[in-house]
Amino acid sequence: MYKIMTKRRLNSVVVLIEVEAPFVARKCEAGQFVVVRADQNGERIPLTIADYNRTENKITLVYQELGYSTKRLSTKNVGDSLQDVAGPLGLPAELENCHKVLGIGGGVGAAPLYPQLKKLAEKGTEVDVILGGRTAELVILENEFRTFSHDLTVVTDDGSYGMKGTVVDALLRLTQTKPYDQVIAIGPLPMMRAVVLQTQKLNIPTMVSLNPIMIDGTGMCGGCRVTVGGKTKFACVDGPDFDGFKVDFDECLRRQAMYKKDERQYEDHHRCLIGLEEK
């Protein structure tokens, strides 16, 4: 059970696997996630369900090789099985019937963005997409998004592929000529916060997906608590998707920095945000 059916490397640090998980595939919806363990000695890893196929009883997972557990997961190959796949967890994304939606994915954030936009397109919504990355290599799932997107913009920090700049630059350019009913932004916290700062000015409702530290995925540990609309929420059971206008991003960034080995990363995030706010 939980056999790896396909495995594909998207770039040097990101891997896509399709896993046989009939109970999850039967019930899951866009926006939900699973908690997996590679083997008996592996840690629990929360991963968004990037796609699912109810007929073939499989789900698609995309992960970034960052630490011990994700690298251990990468030792598994086609035909091998995972120890655990628990889910579906979290709430399905609230995908309203809109005329036109703009999806923004930063780096690996493109993976959880994909099922939501795909579902919207199936419901008849016109979908535009912005995919961003620091370099061309870090832009993922472009071909998959092109199968249903009306207009797809690729943007890289270094200009190695597509438009040079940030996803916010692309957002500001698109919104000059196109009216959007909603924006869905998923990626690093600084990116989502920067997007929300602009969409608030433009008065475009914006949903974001939060990925704080999770342990059990059922709301008992409290590790994934966030503040939304002045109230404490747990990303694993109340989310992971929230109204971006109500998220306390400063608190999220501070809590994220607590788990970083090098807290200068938070300082880098802060400097990045200051630069974006001045635009």
pLDDT level of residue 198 (50, 70, 90 thresholds): very high
The residue-averaged pLDDT of 98-125 equals 93
21 phi, psi to nearest 5 deg: -150, 75
Cβ-proximal residues to 277 (8 Å cutoff; 6+ apart), any chain: 194, 197
- Identify the pLDDT of residue 260: 59
Alpha carbon distance 189, 199 (integer Å): 15
156 phi, psi to nearest 5 deg: -130, 145
- 165 pLDDT higher than 50: yes
- Identify the pLDDT of residue 221: 78
The residue-averaged pLDDT of 53-73 equals 90
- Identify the pLDDT of residue 66: 84
The residue-averaged pLDDT of 6-30 equals 93
- 63 pLDDT higher than 70: yes
In the block, tokens 């809590």 appear at 255
- 1 pLDDT higher than 90: no
- Identify the pLDDT of residue 268: 42
Q: Which of 1-5, 124-128, 207-211, 224-228 has the weakest average pLDDT?
A: 224-228
- 215 pLDDT higher than 70: yes
Looking at every residue in the chain, the average pLDDT score rounds to 87
- 277 pLDDT higher than 50: no
Biggest alpha carbon–alpha carbon distance for the chain: 53
Q: Which strands sit side by side in the sheet containing 163-164, from one edge to the other?
A: 163-164, 151-156, 126-133, 100-106, 182-186, 206-209, 241-243
Alpha carbon distance 53, 193 (integer Å): 32
Domains of the chain in start order, with CATH, are 4-89 (2.40.30.10), 100-277 (3.40.50.80)
Q: Are residues 98 and 123 in contact, defined by beta-carbon separation less than 8 angstroms?
A: no
pLDDT, greater one: 217 or 250: 250
What 3-state class would DSSP assign to 93?
A: coil
Share of the chain above pLDDT 70, in %: 92
pLDDT level of residue 252 (50, 70, 90 thresholds): confident
- Identify the pLDDT of residue 95: 86
- Identify the pLDDT of residue 257: 75
- Identify the pLDDT of residue 278: 41
Q: Are residues 137 and 12 in contact, defined by beta-carbon separation less than 8 angstroms?
A: yes
- Identify the pLDDT of residue 259: 63
pLDDT level of residue 226 (50, 70, 90 thresholds): confident
Are β-strands 84-89 and 33-37 bridged in parallel, bridged antiparallel, or unpaired?
Answer: antiparallel
Q: Are residues 42 and 72 in contact, defined by beta-carbon separation less than 8 angstroms?
A: yes
- 216 pLDDT higher than 90: no
